[in-house]
Structure 1
Amino acid sequence: MKIAVFSAKPYDEEYMTKTNEVLGQGKHEIKYIKSPLDEAHVPLAQGCDAVCVFVNDPVTEVVVDALASYGIKLILCRCAGYNNVNLAACKKHGITVARVPKYSPYATAEHSVALMMTLNRKTHRAYNRVREGDFSINGLMGFDMNGKKVGVIGTGKIGYLVCKILKCGFGCDVVAYDVYQSAEVKSIGVEYVDLDTLFRTCDIISLHCPLFNNTKYIINDEALEKMKKGVMIINASRGALVDTKAVIKHLKNGKVGSLGVDVYENEANTFYENHSSDLYLSDELLLRLMSFKNVLVTSHQAFFTQEAMQNIADSVFHSATQYQTEGKVTGEEFVPCE
């Protein structure tokens, strides 16, 4: 099978080439393409049997129509989410979509807690001070995590691990919200509450839910109005869970005490690329967000560990090989196009 890997970075090439040689026994031919899979670059997929896309590749109806015209019947997402893929168009053309359900929940959970601790103890600011010879600690005061009330929205594999780290490791009072309540989460003493209660009572709120129509802007102006003054908000899930304009408003009035985001609603135009030589960033909303000293932005790197990269490559080639031999993808990797 010939696979066009879009948005390919050096680390993608390293892990996918190595894994193809081991798992695929070199049977898959890989075409690495630095550009994203979008309407402008979809012709680069011609001559391939499948495409492999990343989280910010806009696989629109137009893109899917083009892929179908090239005879491509398989889209391999090297991420857990698939909200960037037009599933209705895939269903229309009989295109199978596969994802990576278990790349490493530990990676994202640990990064989420790292964002919390960095914002709390201001280690990023302390690092910069010391590098400049400033050893003062005024303005760097944090708080004990022990006893703080943390609300976790979304209790899948990642959310559960965040709950476990915070409750069992730090001694936080952890509550959660999810449409589906997890027995595993309850077993470690985490109580499920409604969203309104979570918003009103928590010192820290961490997001770990997928992006659907009903979760878009789950953190909006109305929700922020309900929160405690000085609340910390963490988002390492999907950027559009947070209304950036609304959170900027509440950063300015002090309602939001700190914000840590590994994702951003308009990140596709900026993240994963080096803009250090640009005269300016064109995204004025992102620039405004980054101007706050109590905001920490990382470039969608929560997943980025050695273990996760290996698991992603393993899953992609497992799905590719299964489709090649059986004509279908099964298990958690399969995305129903409904």
Structure 2
Amino acid sequence: MKILFYSTQRFEQPYLLKANFLHNDISFTETALSLDTTDESIGYDVISIFTSDDGSADVLKRLRQNGIKFIAIRAAGHDNVDLKKAVELGIRVANVPEYSPYAVAEHALALILSMNRKIILSDRQVHLHNFTISNLIGFDLHNKTIGIIGVGKIGSVLVKILHGFGCHLMGYDIQENEKLKHQYGLEYVTLTRLCSESNIISINTCLTPKTRYLVDSKLIALMQRGVMLINTGRGGCVNTADVIAGLESGQISYYGADVYENEKGIFFHDLSDKKMEDPLLKKLLDMPNVLITPHQAFATKEALSNIASTTFYNIDCWEKGKTNKHELRSKVI
């Protein structure tokens, strides 16, 4: 099989090369998959894409015309791929459903602690030889109520971590985990109650039609005034304009995010020599109580190794005609 990796970042290529044991004919490109770049796939059997690549119906049609039979997604999220159209066209798609829930959960905690304890501001001050602490006052996480929206693999790890801090934990998910309830005291509640009682809310859900703009002005109005909101799930789960309004009114006191609803074409790119054209992101970055990271939560050595090995597992299964447990075809209704 000939394999083309779209949107290959320099930091991931060594992990992909190390995980490849069977394939001699692989190519890497930093180019993102779009309707304008589909012709780069001519002559290949498999392409591998990332979350920022375009897997819409028109793109898939062109890929199929070019001879592409398989798409290996180097991520868990697959909302950027039209799976129904892929099935219609006979293109088989697989993802990496689990690479390191610890990486993302630990990053969520890093955002919480960094904002609470004013780490960024403190670092700036001491580098200016300002060693006062009057504007660096935070709060104990112990005994605080933390609500977790989406208690899957990542959310479950976050529950375990925050239990160690002595937090009261609430969860909102369509499926309850009995072990988390009994072992860590997680209480499953309605979304309304979670918002109204939580000091900190962490979004760890995937993006679906039901979760798109899940956090909007109506839900924000139900939250405790001064709430801390964390999003390491998907950017589209949050209506950014409504979050900004909540920050400006004081309803939200802290916002930490590793994802952004319009991050495509921005995150993973060095735009330091260009003017910020996105007004919502610019507004967020100008706010002192906002901490944005560029979709780096997954970026640990362990996670990158697992993503690479699982990606080649998916490709090897297709080549050998074996059942692929990560294939998404069976999940399409």
TM-score by length of 2: 0.97
Letter of the 2:8 partner, please give it. A
- Specify the SS of the correspondent of 1:11: coil
- Give the drift of 1:38: 0.8
Give the structure 1 partner of residue 168 of structure 2. 173
Tell me if structure 1 keeps the 8 A contact 2:235–2:262: yes
**Does 2:154 correspond to 1:138?**
no
**Does 2:17 correspond to 1:17?**
yes
**Does 2:236 correspond to 1:240?**
yes
Tell me if structure 2 keeps the 8 A contact 1:6–1:37: yes
**Does 2:77 correspond to 1:81?**
yes
Q: Report 1:20-99 matches (<5 A).
A: 20=20, 24-25=21-22, 27-99=23-95
- Give the drift of 1:139: 1.1
RMSD between superposed Cα atoms in Å: 1.1
- Specify the SS of the correspondent of 2:12: helix
Give the structure 1 partner of residue 6 of structure 2. 6
Tell me if structure 1 keeps the 8 A contact 2:92–2:327: no
Give the structure 1 partner of residue 217 of structure 2. 221
- Give the drift of 1:12: 2.0
- Residue number among 254, 258, 261 corresponding to 1:262 in the alignment: 258
- Residue number among 110, 117, 123 corresponding to 1:114 in the alignment: 110
- Give the drift of 1:88: 1.5
Give the structure 2 partner of residue 192 of structure 1. 188
- Specify the SS of the correspondent of 1:232: strand
- Specify the SS of the correspondent of 2:109: helix
- Give the drift of 1:177: 0.4
- Give the drift of 1:173: 0.3
Letter of the 1:302 partner, please give it. A
- Give the drift of 1:89: 1.1
- Give the drift of 1:132: 1.7
Letter of the 1:11 partner, please give it. F
**Does 2:269 correspond to 1:290?**
no
- Give the drift of 1:94: 1.1
Give the structure 2 partner of residue 182 of structure 1. 177
How many angstroms apart in 2 are the aligned matches of 1:308 and 1:145? Answer: 27
Give the structure 2 partner of residue 331 of structure 1. 325
- Specify the SS of the correspondent of 1:150: strand
How many angstroms apart in 1 are the aligned matches of 2:59 and 2:116? Answer: 43
Letter of the 1:15 partner, please give it. Y
How many angstroms apart in 1 are the aligned matches of 2:120 and 2:25? Answer: 43
How many angstroms apart in 2 are the aligned matches of 1:28 and 1:257? Answer: 52
Letter of the 1:315 partner, please give it. T
Give 4+ residue runs of structure 1 displaced > 2 Å after superposition: 332-338
- Give the drift of 1:129: 1.1
Distance 1:194 1:68, change over 3 A: same
- Give the drift of 1:40: 1.1
- Residue number among 298, 308, 313 corresponding to 2:308 in the alignment: 313
- Give the drift of 1:59: 0.9
- Give the drift of 1:329: 4.7
- Give the drift of 1:184: 2.5
Q: Which runs of 5+ in 2 are unaligned?
A: none
- Specify the SS of the correspondent of 1:224: helix
Q: Which runs of 5+ in 1 are unaligned?
A: none
How many angstroms apart in 2 are the aligned matches of 1:183 and 1:7? Answer: 39
Q: Deviations over 1:157-210 (max 9, x none)?
A: 10001011001x100000100011112321321010000000111000001111
- Residue number among 202, 206, 227 corresponding to 2:198 in the alignment: 202
Q: Deviations over 1:24-60 (max 9, x none)?
A: 23x2421101111111111111111111000111111
**Does 2:208 correspond to 1:212?**
yes
How many angstroms apart in 2 are the aligned matches of 1:49 and 1:12? Answer: 21
Tell me if structure 2 keeps the 8 A contact 1:145–1:172: yes
Give the structure 2 partner of residue 149 of structure 1. 145
Tell me if structure 2 keeps the 8 A contact 1:96–1:329: no
- Give the drift of 1:333: 4.8
TM-score by length of 1: 0.96
Tell me if structure 2 keeps the 8 A contact 1:319–1:329: no
Tell me if structure 2 keeps the 8 A contact 1:101–1:333: no
Letter of the 1:152 partner, please give it. I
Aligned length: 331
Tell me if structure 2 keeps the 8 A contact 1:100–1:333: no
